[in-house]
Structures are given as C-alpha cells and as structure tokens.
Amino acid sequence: MKNLPHVPSRKIFANSKRILQNPLPFHRENFDKLGDTFRISIPGEGKVIFSRDPAWVKQILQKQHRAFEKSKLQTKDLAKYIGKGLLTAEGEHWRKHRKMIQPAFNASHVQRLLPIIQSTIQQELEKIERDVPQDVHALMGDLAFQVVAKSLFSKSDISATMHRLKEITEINQNMLVREMRRPYLTWWFDLTGQTRKHLDFSKEAQDLLNLLIEKRSRDGGTGEDLLDVLLAATYEDGAPMPRRQLIDEVMILFTAGHETTANALAFTLYFIAQDEQLQKRLVGEVETFYASDGLENLSKMEWIISTIKEAMRIFPPVYVIDRVSLEKTEVAGTVLEKGTLVLLSIFELHRTKSFWEEPERFEPQRFLDKDMKQLGGYYYPFGAGPRMCIGNTFAHYEMVLAIAEILKRFKISAFMDAVEINPLITLKPKEVKLIFSERSA
C-alpha cells in the first residue's frame, strides 16, 4: 500500500468545501495525476484506496469477494435509517436472505409483473403536463416509486401511504449524506437532536409498512405481487421471515429500487431529447415492436436497450462501490492490510479512455457493435458478483417499458444544454428540464 501514489490529508482539508458539494471532479483530478489506483488519508478513517482499475473491481467484487465486506457507511450509517436488509446486511444474515428473496426477482416472476408495471407507468404518464418545461427527474422519481409500490402492494389503496413514505425516504437520505460527508460533526447531529428526529422518521415509515403488511397477512393475497412472494418465502427449516425483517427488506426495496431507476431514466431521457435522429430511430422501434403485443417484444427493442445502457455508462446510478478487507489480502499486486477501505469508482471506470473510445461522448451504437462479454470487464451499472443488484432484471424491464411508453405518446425536447450531476447516495441529476409534446401533434 505504501507504494501507491498518495493524496495527503492537507489536500483533503484544502478541498473540503468542493468535495462536500461534488467529490467527483476532485476524484478525476487525482486519477488523471496519480493513475488508476491511489490512496488518501481521511481523518477518522485512516488510509483509503480509490481505484478505477478493472482488475481491482473484478477481484474485489467477484474473484475475492469473500475477503471483503461492505463498509460501515452502508452496514451501520445507512442501516440505521432503512434497516438490516439485502443492501445493508453482511455475512450469513445476508446470504440466507438473498437466497430467500431471489425467487421474487427471477426473470420468470418479473415477467408476470409486467402488466402491473406497464399499467402503473401509463397512469403516471397521464399526470405529465404538456408543452411546458418540467423537471423530468422529479417525474421519473414519482413514476419509479409507484412502480415499486404497485409491484409490492398491487391490490391495496396505498396512495397516501406511499406519498408519506417517499417524503421520509428523501428526508432521511439528505440527512445521511450530511453525516457521510461531515463525519466529524456526528457529535453535533446527536447533540442537537437531528439524528434522533430522523430515526423517528424511519420508525414512522416502518409503522406505515407494517400496517400494509398486516392487512395483506389478514386478507390474504393472490400470489401476483412481490409482497405475496415475500410472505410465502421460508427459511430452510420452513419458518417464515420475521415481520421486522420483512419490513426492513420492503423498506430497502423502496429506497434502492426506485431511486436508481429514476436517475437512470432521467439521464436517458435527457440524452434522447438532445438527439433528434436518435429519438426518431427509437420511435420507429416502438412503432415496430411495441404498438401491439408490446410486452412480448421488449427484448427486440435493441436501440432502446442500448440507449439505456449507454446512459448508465456515462452516469452510473451506483457511481462508487465500497468494500473493506476482512483479512490481509493481495489485490492486483498490492497487499492490503485487514480493515482497508477500498472505494471502486464505477463513474471513472466507465469513462476511462483505455477501454472506451471517446468516453465522454454519448453513443448507444457502442453497445450494438460489441459483444457484452467484451464490455463486461469494465461495465458495472448494477455492480458484480454475488452482491450484484438483485433487482437488475426488474429495473431493466421497467426502464425499457417506461421509455417505450413515453416515446409512444410524447415527443420530448431538451430545455437545457447540459445536465449538472448531484452525487449523493446514488448519482442524481440536479435537474433535467424537458418539454413533453403529444406525438400526434
């Protein structure tokens, strides 16, 4: 580790204000100056390694995944607000619940959810105001949240509950970002009661979900939605998932399941609106494959799929992945001591000139020209290895359906020349202003 290029603490302090606003330019400067892997000193964290080297990503997430775990940013800091579920759990607790929940997200079950996803998207698109600039990220946030909600609670009247749950999710995420970027103020957040207030918000969200789950348990389900599958899931000894664990898993599905999709959709629509020729090509694909029997032909809309993939290359929703070494181990020729925090920059890997021709340019064609096996070593929009996002198939279908439904009825126009990013827990756009016009016009 000592042989890795080093960013001293004084440089971190000197740039603390801009890092707090957006750390990605600071990361880029250091990668460009020091190479694909370097170490920094963070007060309270000790030595931290940053890497955009695909060999590091592959070894840590796949080949040597058992030698690493998620950092306390997720297992403790995030978990205190959203519970101990698949996203935040580790070890045997994670393994047995991943195995238990996986059937709910298998391709065959997700395909049975497609009519619910499609109808929810159609209902949300009816709310879009025509011919005026709108923030599409907010629209896609509402759409993605409702898709998760209806996929979980398809038979329940949940509109008021979901509105409040979404509010709490956003409030607590903003608090978590403040805590993560200013860990030296933890004592102040505790002293002033801010931490307690947001923990109370989490308790309110848990209580809301518990009421919905209790009603389903009492009334029974049809086996059509995700909640029915989760309620029917059992451990190896036949025991059902405890209520508290079920609430945690559902809470995480809402938090992680809607936000990354909303971000990816917002960025994708921004790129489509910027390129009139691309939009015409995608509309042609919708008219050919989606006008009738659309749910049967989603995989045939190759340009839409490639456009989504390229948007997630340039703006990956999960832009950095953290891991901590559980033991002394070697990664790509560097020996890591036990307890070393490694931050894998997916954002930078997706923009590295060594692997991508003109990486800053938006070009969906690159995903049509190359075999995905060639791209797999340096393209990680959903992570990789055993902890790859469990909802990646669900998100894929949802995004393809959303883009197809939008282009089926709207012409979208850009209202801004560039989009400013907002790296929080996930990579968000600060605002994406677009205009939606009826396509028949």
Tell me what pLDDT residue 402 has.
97
Question: Is the domain 52-438 a CATH 1.10.630.10 member?
Answer: yes
What is the helix, strand, coil percentage profile of the chain, to 5? 60, 15, 25
32, 57, 315, 351 from 361: Cα distances, Å:
18, 23, 12, 10
23, 142, 157, 205, 369 from 168: Cα distances, Å:
25, 14, 19, 7, 43
Tell me what pLDDT residue 433 has.
93
pLDDT tens digit at each of 441 positions of the chain? 778 999 988 888 888 888 878 889 999 999 999 999 999 877 666 679 999 999 999 999 999 999 999 998 889 988 999 999 999 999 999 999 999 999 889 999 999 999 999 999 999 999 999 999 999 999 999 999 999 999 988 866 777 888 898 899 889 888 988 887 777 788 899 999 999 999 999 999 999 999 989 988 888 766 678 998 899 889 988 999 999 999 999 998 888 888 899 999 999 999 999 999 999 999 999 999 987 666 888 989 999 999 999 999 999 999 999 999 999 999 999 999 999 999 999 999 999 998 898 999 999 998 987 666 667 688 999 999 999 999 999 999 999 999 999 999 999 999 888 899 988 888 999 989 999 999 874
Per DSSP, the three-state class of 104 is helix
d(CA 434, CA 187): 42
Chain centroid to Cα 10, Å, comes to 32
Per DSSP, the three-state class of 320 is strand
Q: Are 309 and 271 in contact (CB under 8 A)?
A: no
Tell me what pLDDT residue 425 has.
84
Chain centroid to Cα 231, Å, comes to 25
Angle among Cα 256, 126, 305 to the nearest 5 degrees reads 50
Chain centroid to Cα 138, Å, comes to 16
130 backbone dihedrals φ, ψ, rounded to 5°: -90, 145
Residues facing residue 427 across a β-bridge? 423
DSSP calls for 194-209:
HHHHHHHHHHHHHHHH
Residues facing residue 324 across a β-bridge? 69, 341
Tell me what pLDDT residue 216 has.
86
Nearest of 338, 348, 345 to residue 1 by alpha carbon: 338
Identify residue 375 by its one-letter amino acid code: L
Residues facing residue 422 across a β-bridge? 428
Per DSSP, the three-state class of 231 is helix
DSSP calls for 147-195:
HHHHHHSTTS--HHHHHHHHHHHHHHHHHHHHHHH-GGGHHHHHHTTHH
Q: Are 17 and 5 in contact (CB under 8 A)?
A: no
Chain centroid to Cα 227, Å, comes to 21
Q: At what angle do helices 159-181 and 194-219 cross, to 10 degrees?
A: 150
d(CA 395, CA 249): 17
DSSP state of 438: E
Tell me what pLDDT residue 178 has.
83
d(CA 268, CA 404): 12
83, 279, 303, 365, 366 from 369: Cα distances, Å:
42, 19, 11, 6, 5
Domain segments of the chain as ranges: 52-438
DSSP state of 234: B
